[in-house]
Amino acid sequence: MEINHLQPAQRKGLLVVITGYGKGKTTSALGLAVRACGHNMKVGIIQFMKGDIFAGEWKGIQRMNCRVELIPTGIGFCGIPGDSHPFEAHRRNAQEAVRLVHAKMSSGDYDLLILDEINNALHLKLVELEQVLDIVCRKPPELHLVLVGRDAHPEVIRLADTVSDITEIKHAYRKGIEPQPGIDY
């Protein structure tokens, strides 16, 4: 079977927002990374709020043998039960992640950059709206930029080319079922 590889007449880097309260925002973004891998694109994933608990995507990406770089910059989710880190520590890490985003964008080495949990970081004031808008405004024209996490700011949504709102209909957690490897992390 011959596969037709369609190419757009003009390449344009898109601004994509994946938000909402349902499960699957990061999973959806990782699906974009897999798709980009199939096109031999260079992908960077910067996780703003994860990093203190193992997530399967870390090993999965290593096993894919693709040009995908995953950088967990956070120290866990800010303000949730069991979070022992002070707000300022979370903010420091998020600010470092913003600096890293600018470095990765300006390098010209990436086709797709995924900023996992940046919407949460903005909502929690770990980063400022002006910083996120600056990232969006400085995005190179051919770079695809994906902003992930619940509570996407209305201004970010307004600027985006594509927005998906992941809605929870039902979740095993609500039945008292613990997070499951390979599905939840």
17-54: b (≥16 Cβ within 10 Å) or e: bbbbeebebbeebbebbeebbeeebbbbbbbbbbbeee
- Predicted confidence at residue 145, as pLDDT, reads 98
Q: Rounded to the nearest 5 degrees, what angle is found at the Cα of 138, between the Cα atoms of 137 and 144?
A: 90
Q: Is residue 115 classed exposed, middle or buried when 0-12, 13-18 and 19+ CB atoms within 10 A define those classes?
A: buried
Which mean pLDDT values do the consecutive 10-residue runs of the chain (185 residues) have? 78 97 95 95 93 76 90 82 85 96 98 97 97 98 98 98 96 91 85
| CATH number, span 15-167 | 3.40.50.300
Residue 19 belongs to what H/E stretch?
strand 15-19
| DSSP for residue 180 | -
- Predicted confidence at residue 1, as pLDDT, reads 67
- Predicted confidence at residue 55, as pLDDT, reads 78
Comparing C-alpha atoms, which of 23, 18, 44 is closest to residue 118?
18
| DSSP for residue 3 | P
Domain ranges of the chain: 15-167
State pTM to two decimals.
0.92
- Predicted confidence at residue 161, as pLDDT, reads 98
Comparing C-alpha atoms, which of 106, 164, 115, 112 is closest to residue 138?
106
- Predicted confidence at residue 52, as pLDDT, reads 65
**What one-letter code names the amino acid at 176?**
G
d(CA 185, CA 182): 6
